[in-house]
Structure 1
Amino acid sequence: MIDDVVKLFKEMDSKDLRILAGIEIGMKHFEWVPAEDIMKYTRLSHSDLEFKLKKLIRNNMVIGTNQPYEGYQIYFDGYDTLALNTLVKRGTISAIGDEIGVGKESVVHEAVKEPELSFGEPQGVILKFHREGRTSFKSVKRTRSHLEGKEHFSWIYAARLAAKREAAIIKELYPDVSVPKLLDNNRHALVMDVAKGTLLYKTKLEDPEWFLNEILRQVALVYEKGYIHSDLSEYNIFVNENGVQFIDWPQYVEVSHPHAEELLERDVTNVLKHFKRKYQIDKDTKEIISEIMNN
């Protein structure tokens, strides 16, 4: 739980953070980072390192093994701590609020960003931690084209790369496409503006035809820029009085992807099914796909 991470983060010292950072670096090369490598990076004595590691393991920041050698991995809470440390130092966030979303591959929290130069009011923001690789590395590699061909990768690599990809596409699309503005990215964490409105599946629209057309217009804008969301549905579209916003971009593909048309059709079909089921609006999927691709 993030509340536990925040509490422990406040109690940690520079040595704890150096150990976590050392394990993070080592996991680029090892599944289990040898204790000797951590000692070299941190420059701690064996006894100091052993004492600190026991505490980090007890607090679910690190996990260890003795087979086939003494080695360690950073755990989710530990990686969250490293990201939080950087984001706080940068002034991107100053407080973390409630968990507002959790899925197989991410956890989303409310957070607060202090105003620059102490002028103005604190800003509510969204803090998203990627969790790719938490359940199955093989599954993640199979469903993420950007991980193909990677013989060695850890869950932190998968999560960090997913966050980096999502940050890159949001910066590429904003502000031409209606997506929340990216404020910062560190490791597996993203900080963004709060999406405007409410999620489509939770909303009863007074003018559903207009909103459907606006969603399809945004899909077309994304396609014009050379991309496809590839995971679009009523669960990651926000609607508000002025329009819509798309969130959750780590699975995007370029229009040159070999399955681009299939993925575009899936996105459009998901949206059309929702509007047909909830508002009895019926549109021809093939016709819409043709308009988007040939516009």
Structure 2
Amino acid sequence: MKLDTRAMRHLASEDWRVLTAVEMGSKNHEIVPTPLIERISRLRGGANGVHRSISALAKVGLIARVKEAKYDGYRLTYGGMDYLALHTYSARKEIYSVGTRIGVGKESDIMVVADNSGVQRVLKIHRLGRISFRTVKSNRDYLKNRSSGSWMYLSRLAAMREYAFMKALQNEGFPVPEPLGQSRHTVLMSLIDAFPLRGISSVPDPASLYADLIALILRLAKHGLIHGDFNEFNLLIKEVKTSKKNSETNEEEEAIDLVPILIDFPQMVSMDHRNAEMYFDRDVACPFFKDAKKLVAKDGATRLDATAAASGFSKKMAKDLEVAMREQIESRGEGAGSDEEEYDESDDESEDDEDGASEPVVIGGIGAEEAQEEPLAEDAGKLKVDG
């Protein structure tokens, strides 16, 4: 779906209170009754003020009235969740403007954003349930009493889990984007000037790159982790300039190394997981799982599965998300696809412009100048990129 932030700067404080009230009510109601919205928001203007805000929010698609409902009420839309998350980032001065969508898939949207100083960042918006949740919702056992807000609950869990793992991995020096923040169903991270592996048709030394990828899998195993979706869609290749001495001339020469960057972590599991071997084999057929298992916590390596668990992500949350992620993967074909796959947008509330591009929209304050966009890398020194 298209993230249109133009209405953000026109929302009054009362509108934000009402939108937050709908979010809070959604924890226990699929359709939040209007009287409950009035009680939670506690506007000075009473019912009249609430109804004015409801009208304003519904007009821009942040909440929606459900036809043929048994009572008068509203549901929170993905757009409403997006706005609440962006409002939080703006208050923290972590996001100032929103630019182009650079990635789209069944389970997330990837946006380029900028902070107050114009530094570009990446905002990942989790959207579990956008497409294949039609099949997931038929098996609600794992959601229990949360079925009314399942898409919000699961999308929030995916963001929490991704942020926890990304932070733990970065602290151990793994090649991952820098986690900068997390709010609701979104994760804010650094923008890496790199190419998706799925778009690279050739590299100078495939054997060397393959060895680096296997080494990365084994390094994860050593720290007690399995990525769970290790494929060309979830790997970036970054060109790093280095200096190497020429053995013949004994002079320093410029060289370019290809460094794999790992992304997408909501489906990551522990090496102690009951289905760990299945997840490991889905990532790579060689080396064998039993060999990788011997590496776990070897030589005093930190168990990052325990570190992530200590971040507040409970076992129940992990179970809920795991079942949902498995359903999502099975619905698209096991081992195929990722966040960059195409999907049918016919059910989205709005569609992108034909060219998919847009000017950055300021969300950080009225009258402020727009953050300047910097172009992404256009040329690759050693890579042959498709298209």
Contact 1:198 1:239 in 2 (8 A): yes
Deviates more, 1:188-197 or 1:135-144: 135-144
Listed as ranges, the gaps of 5+ residues in structure 1 are 116-121, 269-284
Task: Work out which of the residue numbers 133, 137, 159 in structure 1 matches 2:155.
Answer: 159
Q: What secondary structure is seen at the aligned counterpart in 1 of 2:64?
A: strand
Select 1:228's aligned residue among 226, 229, 236.
226
Q: How far apart in 1 are the matches of 2:132 and 2:73?
A: 21
Distance 1:289 1:184, change over 3 A: same
Q: Hey, what does 1:12 align to over in structure 2?
A: 11
Larger radius of gyration: 2
Tell me if structure 1 keeps the 8 A contact 2:3–2:79: no
Indicate the residue corresponding to 1:125 in structure 2.
121
- Provide closer, same or farther for how the CA distance between residues 239 and 291 of structure 1 changes in structure 2, counting only shifts above 3 A: farther
Aligned partner of 2:188 in structure 1 is 191
Deviation at 1:55, TM superposition (A): 2.5
Q: Secondary structure at the match of 1:134?
A: coil
Counterpart CA distance in 2 for 1:112 and 1:11 is 20
Distance 1:150 1:253, change over 3 A: farther
| Distance in 2 (alpha carbons) for counterparts of 1:287 and 1:3 | 42
Quote the residue 2:199 is aligned against: 202
Letter in 1 for 2:21: G
User: Are 1:87 and 2:103 counterparts?
Assistant: no
Q: Is the 8 A contact 1:178 1:244 kept in 2?
A: yes
Is 1:58 matched up with 2:59? yes
Normalised to the residue count of structure 2, the TM-score between the two structures is: 0.65
State the alpha-carbon separation in 1 of the partners of residues 286 and 132 from structure 2.
35
* Distance across 2 between alignment mates of 1:200 and 1:170: 19
CA contact (8 A) 1:39 1:49 kept: yes
1:193 and 1:142 map into 2 onto residues whose CA distance is 37
Mark the CA change 1:2 to 1:135 in structure 2 (over 3 Å): closer, same or farther: closer
> How many residues get paired?
270
> Are the equivalent residues in 1 in contact too, given 2:112–2:123 (CA < 8 A)?
yes
Structure 2: stretches of 5+ with no match in the other structure: 241-258, 296-387
For 1:27 and 1:136, locate their aligned partners in 2 and report how far apart those are by CA, in whole Å.
21
Corresponding residue SS for 1:212: helix
The percent identity for this pair of structures is: 31
Relative contact order, CA 8 A, sep 6+: which one is greater? Answer: 2
Normalized per residue, which structure has more helix?
Answer: 1
Distance 1:143 1:160 in 2: 19
Q: What is the aligned-residue RMSD (CA, Å)?
A: 2.2
SS in 2 for 1:151: helix
Structure 1 residue 140, shift from structure 2 partner: 4.7
Tell me, in whole angstroms, the C-alpha distance in 1 between the residues paired with 2:211 and 2:138. 34
SS at match of 2:85: helix
Distance 1:193 1:234 in 2: 20
In 2: Cα distance, 1:140 partner to 1:208 partner: 39
Which TM-score applies when normalising by structure 1?
Answer: 0.85
C-alpha deviation, 1:137, in angstroms: 4.4
Q: Distance in 2 between matches of 1:142 and 1:239?
A: 39
